[in-house]
Amino acid sequence: MFKKILLAVLVTVPMCIQAQSFKLGAVNPTEILNVMPEFATMKNTLNELSGKYETQAKALQEEFNKKQAELETLTKNMANPESDPTAVAKAKELEDLYTRYQNFMQTAQQDIQKQQETLMAPIQQKLMTAITAVGAEGGYAGVLDAATLLYQGSNIEDISAKVKAKLNIK
């Protein structure tokens, strides 16, 4: 008796599931991000920050090149520059400057990455809120990333335009 009930349930559940029509949405978040005004503002801010760091890095590079040329000029006619205190001091100064340059570049890169994460978080949150709202309003069972879909059948509706409208983007 129990086996018959279990068999009946196992046979009817898949048929019930197939009978239901799931409405799915697809959206390309990267495409929408690229047209959001906040994203353009973020890119401009990061470009300005990157430009400032590039200017500082260039100044350090020029100072390094100048000191390297001075050291080469100083040691050019020396038979044994490793024993000359002035040459050794200049070489140490050049080495310290190179280390300072490397540390600066690493710190700058970390700061730019941190700034990008900080600026991007509210933009991504705004986009996700719009996608969630459109999904709920449209009665979608789920919303997929259209960029990762290998096949998009007729059951999946592209809701990118609706999300853009929700974000007031044309």
Q: Note the pLDDT tens digit of each residue in 96-139.
A: 999 999 999 999 999 999 999 999 999 999 999 999 999 999 99
Whether 19 has a pLDDT exceeding 70, the answer reads no
State residue 6's pLDDT score. 42
13 domain residue, yes or no: no
Whether 3 has a pLDDT exceeding 60, the answer reads no
Q: Name the residue range of residue 129's domain.
A: 22-166
3 state SS of 167: coil
104 domain residue, yes or no: yes
11 domain residue, yes or no: no
Whether 167 has a pLDDT exceeding 80, the answer reads yes
The overall longest dimension of the chain from CA atoms, in Å, is 105
pLDDT in tens, 33-78: 999 999 999 999 999 999 999 999 999 999 999 999 988 888 887 7
**Stronger pLDDT, 20 or 158, i.e. the higher one:** 158
User: The tokens of 32 are what?
Assistant: 């929408």
State residue 143's pLDDT score. 92
Task: Report CA torsion sign: 107, 111, 113, 114.
Answer: positive
Grade residue 15 by pLDDT with cuts at 50, 70 and 90.
Answer: low
Grade residue 11 by pLDDT with cuts at 50, 70 and 90.
Answer: low
Rounded to whole angstroms, the Cα distance separating 151 from 158 reads: 12
Taking the alpha carbons at both ends of the chain, their separation in whole angstroms is: 62
Grade residue 155 by pLDDT with cuts at 50, 70 and 90.
Answer: confident
CATH number of the CATH domain containing 32: 3.30.910.20
9 domain residue, yes or no: no
Please choose, from the candidates 133, 157, 163, the residue with its C-alpha nearest in 3D space to the C-alpha of residue 144: 157
State residue 31's pLDDT score. 93
Question: Number of folded domains in the chain?
Answer: 1
Whether 87 has a pLDDT exceeding 80, the answer reads yes
Q: What is the DSSP letter of 25?
A: E
68 domain residue, yes or no: yes
